[in-house]
Chains A and B, each alone.
Chain A
Amino acid sequence: MSIRDIVILDYGSGNLRSAQRALERVGATVTLTSDFDSAVNADALVVPGVGAFAACMRGILEIQGDQIIDRRISGGRPVLGICVGMQVLFANGDEHGTEVAGLGQWPGVVEQLDAPILPHMGWNTIRAPANSKIFDGLADERFYFVHSYGVTKWQLNGNTLDRQPPVVTWCTHGTDFVAAVEDGPLVATQFHPEKSGDAGLALLQSWVRSLY
């Protein structure tokens, strides 16, 4: 088995070192770059993201990250979005009443969670469907979340006859929200697997193994 080459898309967002080291720990070769061709052609692409939806979208668009992700998905090549890197895959982000267009891989709006304490910060349980691959053997584990926004309604349009329905995993903080999505080559988590201890490493390992 060859070691998989993974690119972490470096568009200026936060702490990328942990994601890099966690993926290396589970056997991948990892490059941090914003280079278009490297990101399109890598065995797998990780889209990280912390902070504001709008700022992350700006950073992604500046390096043509939208085209990188489109090309990869249409070619069936794996992409993993983490935290705001998951949120930007939805159609829209609503921060302080201002809507910002997302990458539109899935319909839905990222909006502020309705909870007494925000950010939602810490280790929470998830509800994974039985056919989830990334939570296989990990459904009872806690994962580390830090975010104030999320997708509270999952709605998929009818024009998806050509693909399997996505596997959606939920979490609750004040309200139910999407914790993870597995949709063919496109996988995303609202939590930080690279900060979720052994459970997070196990999840990353099963994702990396799925690349072979």
Chain B
Amino acid sequence: MSLAIRVIPCLDVDDGRVVKGINFTGLRDAGDPVELAARYDAEGADELVFLDITASSGDRKTMLDVVRRTADCIFIPLTVGGGVRSPDDFNLLLRAGADKVSLNTAAIADPNLLSQAAERFGAQCVVLSIDARRCPPGVSTESGFEVTTHGGRRSTGIDAIAWAIEGTKRGAGEILLNSIDADGTKAGFDLQLIEGVRSVVQVPLIASGGAGALTDFAPAVNAGADAVLAASVFHFGEFSVAEVKQELNEAGILVRLIAH
């Protein structure tokens, strides 16, 4: 009897449409985030993450509509991130039906945003999203990991482990840790990065980046992740959320199993 490890699909949404290739059969509209979210819910997803990658800030209304339509029919927690710049952005997403909001670039530019959001809305809905990588030549941090922005294309020189500590001190109630090195490789999670952050923070930790096989998830949990997140392997139908949970269950890790 204890808390279950969470399995979380992530959807990249551009102007109201899911952008990464979708290979699901049986969906009326595979590009509709709401329909895809419902599919993941039925498979046993414990939460959902929507990442708004819309380039122009003028189209944010579209994302609010997606969040509203999702919250209207799906009754598991929803985290929304991407382009959140102010407590007011935060508030709009929460009022639309998001349960948590993730901050990334804006928190690096102004770490006070974390504390402002935590004070106003509660730390439980403030997720600090960190895109971390091993320091490339010419960059050096104490932990050997640095924070990047712009999907890993821009170096900040900020120590990723130190940033995790500072972020939680400032009020983040959860960390979404994405390994830029592992992301897209399908070679497994960056276990050293997970262990590094786990050893210094006392908030829940979502591990992201690198999932390519069913057997990749248990090591991430054993390295200290409270939740595991993946995108493309689910979208392309390589395996399902239910299969990941089954695999974790067989590895002796507690999960919420759905009866069908």
Check A103 for interface membership: any CB of B closer than 8 A.
Answer: no
Instruction: For B174, list chain A residues within 8 Å (CB).
Output: 119, 121
What CA separation (Å) do A192 and B125 show in the bound complex? 14
Partner of A120, one of B3, B6, B68, B122: B3
Q: Mark B66-95, 1 if CB is under 8 A from A, else 0.
A: 001001110111000000000000000011
Q: Is the CB of A119 within 8 A of B71?
A: no
123-172 of chain A: CB within 8 A of chain B: 123-125, 127, 142, 144, 146-148, 172
Partner of B124, one of A22, A51, A196, A197: A51
A-B Cβ contacts below 8 A, count: 103
Q: Is the CB of B124 within 8 A of A195?
A: no
What CA separation (Å) do A142 and B72 show in the bound complex? 22
Instruction: For B1, list chain A residues within 8 Å (CB).
Output: 124-125, 127, 172
Instruction: For A148, list chain B residues within 8 Å (CB).
Output: 123-124
How near does chain A come to B167, taking the closest CB pair, in angstroms? 15
What CA separation (Å) do A14 and B125 show in the bound complex? 9
Instruction: For A201, list chain B residues within 8 Å (CB).
Output: 75
119-168 of chain B: CB within 8 A of chain A: 121-125
What CA separation (Å) do A144 and B99 show in the bound complex? 12
Q: Mark B35-62, 1 if CB is under 8 A from A, else 0.
A: 0000001000010000000000000000
Q: Is the CB of B3 within 8 A of A124?
A: yes
* SS class, residues of chain A in contact with chain B: mixed
* SS class, residues of chain B in contact with chain A: loop
Q: Is the CB of A196 within 8 A of B75?
A: yes
Check B170 for interface membership: any CB of A closer than 8 A.
Answer: no
How near does chain A come to B118, taking the closest CB pair, in angstroms? 9
Q: Name, among A17, A173, A192, the residue most crowded by chain B CB atoms within 10 Å (CB to CB).
A: A17
Check B30 for interface membership: any CB of A closer than 8 A.
Answer: no
Q: Is the CB of A122 within 8 A of B203?
A: no
Q: Is the CB of B122 within 8 A of A14?
A: yes
Interface residues on B, range: 20 to 34
Q: Name, among B41, B73, B77, B227, the residue most crowded by chain A CB atoms within 10 Å (CB to CB).
A: B77
Partner of A144, one of B5, B76, B94, B227: B76
Q: Is the CB of A14 within 8 A of B202?
A: no
Instruction: For B5, list chain A residues within 8 Å (CB).
Output: 122
How near does chain B come to A21, taking the closest CB pair, in angstroms? 5
Check B9 for interface membership: any CB of A closer than 8 A.
Answer: no
Given the known interface contacts A17-B95, A195-B99, the answer about A50 and B77 at a Cβ–Cβ threshold of 8 Å is: no
Q: Is the CB of B4 within 8 A of A124?
A: yes
Check A61 for interface membership: any CB of B closer than 8 A.
Answer: no
Check B108 for interface membership: any CB of A closer than 8 A.
Answer: no
Given the known interface contacts A51-B122, A117-B203, A144-B77, the answer about A122 and B46 at a Cβ–Cβ threshold of 8 Å is: yes
Q: Is the CB of B124 within 8 A of A17?
A: no
Q: Mark A12-50, 1 if CB is under 8 A from B, else 0.
A: 001101100110010000000000000000000000001
Instruction: For A196, list chain B residues within 8 Å (CB).
Output: 75-76
CB-based nearest B residue for A199: B256
Partner of A142, one of B71, B123, B204, B256: B256
What CA separation (Å) do A146 and B99 show in the bound complex? 10
Instruction: For B94, list chain A residues within 8 Å (CB).
Output: 14-15
199-219 of chain B: CB within 8 A of chain A: 202-204
What CA separation (Å) do A2 and B95 show in the bound complex? 30
Check B25 for interface membership: any CB of A closer than 8 A.
Answer: no
How near does chain A come to B102, taking the closest CB pair, in angstroms? 14
Check A97 for interface membership: any CB of B closer than 8 A.
Answer: no
How near does chain A come to B181, taking the closest CB pair, in angstroms? 25
Q: Is the CB of A51 within 8 A of B121?
A: yes
What residues make up the interface of B, taking CB atoms closer than 8 Å to A? Answer: 1-6, 41, 46, 68, 71-73, 75-77, 94-99, 121-125, 173-174, 202-204, 226-227, 256
- Known contacts A17-B72, A25-B75, then 12 further A-B pairs from the complex at CB < 8 Å, ordered by chain A residue: A18-B97, A50-B121, A51-B122, A51-B124, A118-B203, A119-B203, A122-B3, A122-B226, A142-B4, A146-B124, A148-B123, A195-B77
What residues make up the interface of A, taking CB atoms closer than 8 Å to B? Answer: 14-15, 17-18, 21-22, 25, 50-52, 55, 116-125, 127, 142, 144, 146-148, 172-173, 192, 194-197, 200-201
Can you pick out 13 interface pairs between chain A and chain B where the beta carbons lie within 8 Å of each other?
A14-B121, A15-B98, A17-B68, A17-B95, A50-B124, A119-B173, A121-B124, A121-B173, A121-B226, A122-B3, A122-B46, A122-B204, A123-B46
